[in-house]
Each structure stands twice: as structure tokens, then as C-alpha cells.
Structure 1
Amino acid sequence: MTLTSNVEVEVYMEDLNVTDDESDGEEYVASTMDKTIWDPFLNDLVQGEVEWPDISYDDAEWTFSNEETEKGDNIGQIFGDQYLVHNPRIPWNKMEPHLGEKYESPEQFKLCLTNYAVANGYQLRFAKCDRSRILVRCGKKSDENKCPFRCWASWMGNELTWQVKSLEKKHVCARKYSLGSLITPGWIANHYLNELIRNPKTKVKEMKADFLQNYSLKLSRGQCERARALAFTLIDGKLTDHYARIWDYGNEVLRSNPGRTVEIGVDVNPDAKYFKRIYICLKALKEGWLKGCRKVIDLDGCFLKGKVKGELIAAIGRDGNNQIYPIAWAVVNVENKDNWKWFIELLQSDIETVEGNGVTLISDQHKGLLEAVKEVMPHAEHRQCACHICANFYKHFSGEIYKTLFWEAAMSTTDQQFKNNMEKMKELNNDAYDDLMKRNPKTWCRAYFATDRACEAVENGVSESFNSAIVGARGKPLITMLEEIRLHVMERFDAMKRSTNSWKTVVAPKILIKMKKWHKNMRNWMVIPSGPLLEVRNGYEGYMVDLASWTCTCGLWFLSGLPCVHACAAINHTHQNLLDYEGHNARTCKNEKVVPPPKEKKPPGRPKKPHSDEAPSKRPTTSGGRGGRRPTRERGGRGSSVGRSGGRGGRSLIDEIFDSPTENEVINMFDNFEEDVFRAEMERGESSHMMQFPESQFDEGVPITQDDGVPETQFDVENANWEDQSHVVGGIAIIVPIIREKFNPRKPSG
């Protein structure tokens, strides 16, 4: 279908409700991205048979005619059968008519005459324009000194071609800047299309100024408004085309992105089916959230700004740098409980959770959303945005003191701190206190948030940021809007990925800025050590910090996953690195799964021992010398021990064990020690000097005792992580659990 009717354009403007008085200061709401204009798939999808217009006129259908011109046809005498063919690809300002020139259609001839008139400032008019002929003159009918320009064209008698039969090209008129109806909305839209693509918010005044400067044309406000409306129709496609091809768009997303989720819903009426909603979640987004983001999701909706109203609802996560991470979005006809329930059910399936276990949701106080979350994700932690609560609270209790006390209560990290702040509110106004307590403080106060999410946020600011980023796309028709949102997310992810290559530390930049701020404020706190615990004080305020378990009694470290200012002071006091106490949620990681090296396996058999004729340098360094005092154990003391100092310079076996870099060297020391002990006892006949442990004492839970009956230690043999239980001999059985602890250090989880 060709958009060539002026009447259609007028009706379109009436539908837009645009008047001359209103359009002066309006801004057309459209995306500043506009990456979908030249997308072959999208253009074919939404535009169908729509053609780019050249010139539009209200004429009847064209037919063939063999009648000759008023002054006769003299082109055969000049050119014979060799006629010039019009080339539509030459620059528009170089076009001009020639005698005998052939055109494909009357529309092409009219476009050539219009470009010729605009380029030279000629006020051409169509004196005759019907089904078979066109007569063009220059100037108004009322002009006394008429310009001699005259052009006559009609169909050729023997072929489907339009031809200039008579032409007088001489002009004596002055340049004109207002060419009237010769300049149609189609011509203006075609010449100004690229500018509107670059800047969709171009105003009518700016449009008129551009045409006066670049084309020497004075356009009316109505001409600019109709042309702009037609241009946006051509850019975005017809509204009905978008909704008619929504199924094709969904199938294309399914085909091009395996592993994604796309679902379309319609309202079934007796007369037809009407669009209701569409949900989109791309595979890369949900996999990235599952593998690299905290289990916190912000839910929010925003209004569409196009001709057809509706809402766009989205689920937004937070990456390690506390920035926007889109997960899924949907377009619905209205924001209500039914649509939110449908959206959350699909989201729950994509993020692989059951009834919201381990997930935190942050949203506003929309009634339908609150009810949908309770039904679909009853076990999820549902926080309410403190900004929305403060705005509703401020409507009834205005004043800066109310706002200050509210945020002090919302930011409280302990129950007692929250109660103290609310007591201040109660003393100020008891009604204000009651109003806040009715709003369920467990949903908007930090003191009652889950402590395993590494997120202390009390607002859904990331959702508001996402809505603001796509405000231009929200004014587009359906498919164009969905494509621009997809392109926006794709470009953002690529930019974020490239920016991480410039990071100098393993901690995300925004997290590092926060830590530097706390590190600066920690100098105001005094640290008092008490064994593994440290007390951090500032005047009458004090908190206990346990670096081993990564906790502080203020609660913020456990809540956010980052060391609080008190923990920073304690870490600095113990001369440790602050970055060692950053949680894994704030650190960079590999894009792919990290494959660890293979585990080292102990070869079968006993370790090879050097012969006596080998060079000393080839002997294992862990075997020690053979000289010096043989290992003995004296009776009669709990502190007696089995050890060897000969050949070690006074160093004991335990000292060498803890200095050994590998576990295999420790095992070799066990073997050598065992062999030396038995050889010495057999030679001297002093086997009674060895500690004798009955086999029953190696059962689980049985204490190991010396020969004097005093328990030495107690441990679980089965769960002691033994490589080979044959090494459990003599006094070595007491040492092995210590060795295992050295090679398997336990650190608190981040």
C-alpha cells in the first residue's frame, strides 16, 4: 500500500489531537537510540507493503491517450526515436525537465518538476492535470508579466511511458520562497526523514528554520506538522501492523535466542482476539543473574507514552558494582494483580526458585503486586521501597523533621536503634508514629532484613533508573519499543564488559569508593583488643567486632557483606588487608567456569628410600641425620613427648612438619620416623619405651591415653581426613589432626 493521500494525513493528525496552537512547544516522545530504523527484519516485519512516498496528489487514475498537444508534438523531428530517459538517482537539486525525456509514471515526472522548482525557486503550478496530460506553467494566473516557462507531458502512444512532448525552459520571474501546495507533506517527510531519525524531538519551529536555511523554503506550521506525523508513521510502521505481527516477532525471538522465554497473552472476545500482554526473558540475562548476581530483584512498572496506552513492567537485578542488571520485562494492558501474578510466575520459573526461597524482592506498595507476591512467592523476603513509603507518609505529615526521623528509623541496623528512633517520632507526633507502625516496619527497616543477601538497600532505585533509560523507547509502537529495549540492554552489557577491563583492583569501583569512605572515618574510632574479639568505641558508643566470623554488633557487616566502619578500624588495628574481608559478591570473577588443576594422588607403595652409597645431596631432606640421640620417651610426666633432635640442630619433628611446603613431605617424615623408632627399639630391646595404644582406643569417641592412664587428646578417627590410616602409630596419632588442620584451613564464608 502506498501512502499517497493528503486526506489520510489529515485524518492521522486529527487522531493525534495536534493543533496549530498546541504543537509549538510540544516534544514528540520518541527514543533517542533509534537503532531499529534500518533493521531489515524489523522493517519487513512491521511495514509490509508500505512504500516511501515521493509526491502525493489528489488525482484520478491515469489512463493512456493518443491525443496530441495544443501546439503539436515536435519531438520526433528533433530526436527521432532516441529519447532521453530520466535518471531518478541523480541529486534532487540537479533534476530538470528536458524535451522528449521519458519517465516511468506521472508521479516520477511530478517529483522531478517539484525538485526543479525548489532548487531554483520557481513557483510552478499545474495548469492542467488529468488522467492523460499535465500542463505546467510558472507563476500565478493573476500575474501581469507572466513567465514564459511552459511544459507539456502525456503518455506515449505505443508504450507505457510518460514523456515530455513540449517544453519552453526560459524563466523571467524572481525567486520565490513560498511555493504553496506544490510542496506536499510527502516531499517534506522524505527530505527531512534522516533528521527526524537523529533527533525525534525536533520542534516545528526548528523544522521551519532548517528548511528556510537549507532549502530556501518558507513552510507553514500545518505543513510541518503533517509532514512530521507522516515521517514517524513511515519510521515506526502502522500501529495495526505492529500488533498484527506480534506473533511473528515472538517466533523470531524464540528462533534466534535458544533458551529464552517468550509468552504472549490475548483477550478473547466474541468478535476477535485482542492483545493483552507479552513477556520476554533472554537466556544470557537469566544465566548471568543466576551465576553472578545477588539474589535481590527490584519489581516496578511504568506507563507507555505512545498512542496505545499500557504499562511496561520489569524485573531488575543488581550486579557486583551495585548497578542495573535487567532480567526480564513485559508489556501489559494494565498493571493489576492478574498481570503481576502472571509475570512473577514466569519470572520464578526463569530464576529457578521454588516459592521464592532465598530471594529478596523490592517493590512499591502497589496492592496487586503485594498480593501476587504473597501467592506466588510466599517464602521470599519482600521489602517495600522506603522512598514510596516516605512520599505517602509525607502527604499526611509534612515537615523536614518528619522526613529526617523517618530515614533515621529506616536506616537503623539493630532493633534497639530502630526503637530509639521511633520513640523520637512518638514524642514529636503520636499519630505519625502510629501511621509508620501500621506500614509493617519489617518491610522497610534494615534491622529486620535477611542477613544472607549481601544487600542493605531499602529502595528500588535501579528500577527507576531503568525506566528512565528507556523513556524514549516507551513512546514507540510495540515491536519497535521491544527492539530498542533489547538493543539498549545489549549495548549496556557490552559497555560494562569493556569497562571492567580497566579496573585496577579485584573489588568493584563503586564498592571500593564506599570502602574508602569508611576507611577514612575509621580514624575516629578507638580499638580495644580482647583476644580474638575487638571492641571499637567512639565516646559512649561501642561495638564488638569478631574478625574470625566477619561480624559486628552494629549488624551492617552481616547485612551488606562489606566491612562496616567499625570492622575497618579493627582490621586496620590488626595490620591486615581490608580487601581480604570483602565478600565474593563485590569481587570480579571469571566469565567462564574455573576448572581447578587435578588433585595430586599418592603413588602406590612406600616412598623410595636412598641407598647408603648415594650422594648426600640426593637424599630426601626430610629424613634428617642418623647421628645424635635416638628417639626416646621417658615415663612419669604428662609433658613427655616423642621427638628427635639429632641432625636437626635442635629442631623437633613438629617444627619440621609445619615448615614443610607439601603434604607428601610430611608423609615421608612420618614413614622415616616410624622406621627409625622401631629399628632403635629392636636393637636396644626397649620396646617398652614406646606408647602402646589398644586397638579399641581407635574407635570413634574413645580417648587416647598414655601408659600412665592420663588422657592426652580425643578426636574422631573416621572423620579426621586420613590419607592412610596405617600412619596412625605411636605418638604420631596425636599430631596428625594438627597437620590436617594446617593443610585444610577453615575460613569464614563471605
Structure 2
Amino acid sequence: MEAEDILNSDVEGEQYEESNEATGMKNHVLSVGLKFSTPQLFKKAMVRWNVLIGHAITYIKNENKKITAKCKQDCGWRIHASPIGNTSTFQIKSFISEHKCGRVHENGHVNSKFLADEYLDDLRDNHEIKVKSMKRKVRKDLNVDISRWQVCRAKHNVKKLVEGDIEKQYALVRDYCATVLDHNTRSCFKIQNAKANNRGTQPRFLRLYARDGNDNLFPLAIAVVESECKQTWSRFLLQLLNDMGSVQERGWVFISDRQKGLVETINELMPGVEHIYCIRHMYANFKLKYKGKELKDLFWKVASTASKNEWQYYINEIKKADPSTVAENGDEGPCAFKWLMNANPQNWAMSHFSPRAKCDILVNNMNESWSNYIIDASDIHIISMLEWIRKALMIRFQVKKKWYAKASGKAWS
């Protein structure tokens, strides 16, 4: 059938190929008679076909019932498509497929939306790809120059597509919490909203607390907060204590990196509880003022010895290694000994740990491991982030369970 016959015909014709959006959108060879389920898919295929061969097009007609396009350089290339009968199926009715003009290196069709569609898999799998790298890839693949802003917008569009719109995700937080509780009734969720600035406006999400209901040797609770400060630590710990019960009775031991506001909060909410400071973080602050290998070695010895007699010996050695200076008014100046003693030895010296505490951990490597474990979830939207962490933990627990099942030997009583 000639092009002119198809142009004036509403007969679909079984002999003509149908495009497959799922498998064929990136492999189309445009031809007379090719059918598309919607006009949008036809335009998408037509634009991509021209971008790949290095040409720009413009529309003569761009309507729901008729789409006609020609080469922007008016070299004779032309295509026309319209519906088959009263259906939404579009069919190419006439097509002059040869461009007689030269390749262009600036193509308005290669915008952020086109880049997001074309490089969806690349940007989804490597959302940290550098702008320069992405520009080089597009130049190599399409022989087209693009701007850094087009790359940034394309990455943003892919992120929204993959993770969902950020505002929509916040709107689903309560439904997400309800779903978790429906499947794990012993879990606990608490959501706090910020007060609306104006009457009639929607409240703004502020914080989220989520406690695992299994009470196993797993991460017990997760909190999403606006910042790390005394107020957020206080709210988190109050809810955690409400779920866990009396920490003094159970002999809980807390270990921390002395985050901002945390030490004061623990002292206020849990007076007398065993709270150990991470010695590695403590030394990182110590060495800023007191340098040298001698003080470094003495610091680790005074922190790690289990003997109070040895602790006293090493603390005296620190006094000798960094003697305090005396000002004219008789006050002693700062020194390594005074710096250490400003922190209660019960919080950092193993020799001073309470005998009822069944823990002698000195470094908080668990916290570092956890932070590294969830780092990929730190820059995605809230529902996607919570789901990423939940799935990652499920996989981790299953792997550990299988590993423990293979272990042999006498069990601890």
C-alpha cells in the first residue's frame, strides 16, 4: 500500500507493525504504517529517532487528531501521523525519511525531560554521577552539547521518578506507620508536627520515632529529627525509656560519641545510669590540645586498664608528661590531667566502670558501622529512606541468622 493510500485510509491493516512501549521505544525504525498506542508515544519515538541521527524537527500540526512534523532546516524530511478510526491508536500515514541537511550539535529536543527518559537506568544506578561525566557521555552517545543545568534537572527528575515526590511521601507517613503497626503490632510509632505558621495551612512534619517490637539484639529504634541537639535527644530518649522500661533496674549501659546535648540529657533523664564515652572520639578531641606519642600512649593506657592502681599510676605519669603551669594569681593553667578529669572517669576509664555493668566496650565502632551501613539512605525521601533501612535490616538479619546456624561449639550459659 502506498503512503498516499494510508494517508487517506482509516483501515488499521494487520500487516503493519505495532510499537511496543516496554521493549521497543529505544529501537524503533520509523516507517509508514507503524502504529502507536497514543500520540504521545509517537512523538516520543519521532523525537528520539531524529536526535539519534543528529537532526532537529519542528511541528506543522500538533493536535490530538493530527501530528505533522518537518525538519527544522526545511531540508525535505517530513512525517505525518493520525488516529486509526475513532481509536487513540496513532499510525504513521506518510513519511519522507531522508534528511538532506547536516548534523546539528545543539538540539532543543535534548532537554532535561529527554535526558531523564534516555538515561533513566544510568542516573538511577549512579545518582552521584558528576555533571562533567554526564555531559561527556551525552556528547559521546548523541553528539549533542548540553548545559550543566540540564543535567542537574534530569538527575532531579529521575530522583523524583524513582523515589516519589518529596511532598507526596511526607503525606504518606501516617499511612506508612499504620501499615507497619498492622503487620507488627508490638512496634511503636510517634510522629510530631511543627505548628502551622498561618491558619488554614497544613502542619509540617518535624520528627518521627519508630521502635522495633522484637526486642532482640537489633537496632531498637529509629528517629528522624530536624537536627541533633538537646531537645531532640530528650524527646527521643523519653520515648525510648517509655518503651524499654526502667534502665536502672535492668542495668542498661549506654555508649555514645558524646553528641551535642546527649550527655546532659542522659544525666537529667537517667541519673546514675552507666554511660560510657567512646574513647576514640574522646582522644580525637584530646589530641587537638595535647599532642605527642607519649601523651597518646598514656591516654590509651589510662583509659583501658582494668586496675585502679594502674590507672592511678598512668594518670600520675600524665601529670609528669604535661605539668600544669601556674599563673601570677596562683591559678593553675590547663593541662592534660585537668582535661581528662573534667570528664568523670566512670564514663571513660575501664577501671572505674560499675561492676554491675556487663560491658567493657571502649570504642563505639557499632555506631560507625551503622552510620556507614545506612549512608546510601541518607539523601533520599522519607518513605523511601525508611523502606531502604527496613529492607536492609531484614536482609542483614537473615544473613546473620544463617551464619549463626552454621556455628558450632559450646553455647554460653
User: Shorter-chain TM-score: what band?
Assistant: 0.7 to 0.9
Choose which of 271, 277, 282 in structure 1 pairs with 2:207: 277
Q: Deviations over 1:550-600 (max 9, x none)?
A: xxxxxxxxxxxxxxxxxxxxxxxxxxxxxxxxx64xxxxxxxxxxxxxxxx
Quote the residue 2:254 is aligned against: 361
- 1:370 paired with 2:263, answer yes
Q: Which amino acid aligns with 1:278?
A: L
Quote the residue 2:144 is aligned against: 218
How far, CA to CA, are the matches of 1:354 and 1:495 in structure 2?
Answer: 30
Choose which of 154, 169, 187 in structure 1 pairs with 2:97: 169
Choose which of 268, 285, 289 in structure 2 pairs with 1:392: 285
Quote the residue 1:238 is aligned against: 165
Q: TM-score, normalised by structure 2?
A: 0.84
> How much does 1:126 deviate?
1.0
Quote the residue 1:457 is aligned against: 361
Quote the residue 1:470 is aligned against: 374
**Distance change >3 Å, CA 138–CA 360, structure 1 → 2:** same
> How much does 1:180 deviate?
0.9
1:105-254 correspondence runs (5 A)? 105-119=38-52, 121-131=53-63, 134-138=67-71, 140-141=73-74, 146=75, 148-153=76-81, 162=90, 164-172=92-100, 176=103, 178=105, 180-211=107-138, 215-222=141-148, 223-254=150-181
**Distance change >3 Å, CA 413–CA 167, structure 1 → 2:** same
> How much does 1:185 deviate?
2.1
How far, CA to CA, are the matches of 1:106 and 1:82 in structure 2?
Answer: 15
How far, CA to CA, are the matches of 1:80 and 1:371 in structure 2?
Answer: 79
1:388-537 correspondence runs (5 A)? 388-429=281-322, 430=324, 431-506=335-410
How far, CA to CA, are the matches of 1:165 and 1:474 in structure 2?
Answer: 51
**Distance change >3 Å, CA 225–CA 454, structure 1 → 2:** same
> How much does 1:266 deviate?
1.4
Q: Secondary structure at the match of 2:346?
A: helix
- 1:327 paired with 2:259, answer no
**Distance change >3 Å, CA 255–CA 440, structure 1 → 2:** same
Quote the residue 1:95 is aligned against: 28
How far, CA to CA, are the matches of 1:398 and 1:247 in structure 2?
Answer: 51
How far, CA to CA, are the matches of 1:419 and 1:474 in structure 2?
Answer: 44
Bigger radius of gyration among the two: 1
State how many pairs are aligned.
392
> How much does 1:219 deviate?
4.4
**Distance change >3 Å, CA 458–CA 152, structure 1 → 2:** same
**Unmatched segments (≥5 aa) in structure 1:** 1-72, 290-324, 508-582, 585-750
Quote the residue 2:329 is aligned against: none
CA contact (8 A) 1:408 1:421 kept: yes
CA contact (8 A) 2:11 2:84 kept: no
Percentage of identical aligned residues: 27
1:298-697 correspondence runs (5 A)? 325-355=218-248, 357-366=250-259, 368-429=261-322, 430=324, 431-506=335-410, 584=413
Q: TM-score, normalised by structure 1?
A: 0.48
How far, CA to CA, are the matches of 1:154 and 1:339 in structure 2?
Answer: 61
CA contact (8 A) 1:356 1:378 kept: no
> How much does 1:98 deviate?
4.0
How far, CA to CA, are the matches of 2:236 and 2:164 in structure 1?
Answer: 28
**Distance change >3 Å, CA 375–CA 433, structure 1 → 2:** closer
Q: Greater share of helix residues, 1 or 2?
A: 2
CA contact (8 A) 1:357 1:380 kept: no
> How much does 1:344 deviate?
1.6
> How much does 1:93 deviate?
4.1
Q: Secondary structure at the match of 1:275?
A: strand
How far, CA to CA, are the matches of 1:158 and 1:279 in structure 2?
Answer: 55
**Unmatched segments (≥5 aa) in structure 2:** 325-334
Q: Secondary structure at the match of 1:462?
A: helix
CA contact (8 A) 1:362 1:384 kept: yes
RMSD across aligned positions (CA)? 2.9
How far, CA to CA, are the matches of 1:91 and 1:126 in structure 2?
Answer: 24
Q: Secondary structure at the match of 1:439?
A: coil
**Distance change >3 Å, CA 112–CA 258, structure 1 → 2:** same
